[in-house]
Amino acid sequence: MRNFGRIALIGAACVAGGSITSALMAHGNVTPQAVDTAALPEIGTEWVQHNPYRGNATAAKIGESAYGQNCARCHGLDAESGGIAPDLRYLEVGDSGDEWFIQRYQHGSSHDGKVYMPPFGDVLGQKAGWAIRAWLETKHQE
């Protein structure tokens, strides 16, 4: 009888541990969320080098939603990073900042075989990327 109690306790601990582990692991591999960019002007299939939506309020609104669904997990809510990934509020505005942003957005970032940011270019598309960038420029800080 004494062994039964011990086995039951160990079993309960395993079940509890497994549920905690699966909850923590759920924060891991996340599927990118689609972004509805139908309201934005077409920009073609070739990647442009500078943000065609800069100053476009509709693009910024779409970008805010897209950021929240796909970027905030690492870069922080409202673009305010907690240190896991770069704080995008400090990304240079204008064409010079566009170059760094679109490179990272298209190709992601990896070092020594470790992926620090997955590539989003082929997954979410150019229009979504530039909409996110348009919103990020509204959050810029020096």
Q: Amino acid identity of 1?
A: M
pLDDT band at 32 (very low <50, low <70, confident <90, very high): confident
C-alpha 116 chain-centroid distance: 11
Query: Hunting for tokens 């891991």 — which residue is that?
Result: 28
What does the pLDDT look like over 110-140, one tens digit per residue?
Answer: 999 999 999 999 999 999 999 999 999 999 9
What pLDDT score was predicted for residue 22?
39
Q: How far apart are CA 55 and CA 47, in angstroms?
A: 19
- pLDDT at residue 56 is higher than 90: yes
What does the pLDDT look like over 58-103, one tens digit per residue?
Answer: 999 999 999 999 999 999 999 999 888 999 999 999 999 999 999 9
- pLDDT at residue 39 is higher than 70: yes
Burial (CB < 10 A; 0-12, 13-18, 19+), residue 87, is: middle
What pLDDT score was predicted for residue 75?
93
Q: Residue 42 — φ and ψ, nearest 5°?
A: -70, 145
What does the pLDDT look like over 7-23, one tens digit per residue?
Answer: 655 655 555 555 444 33
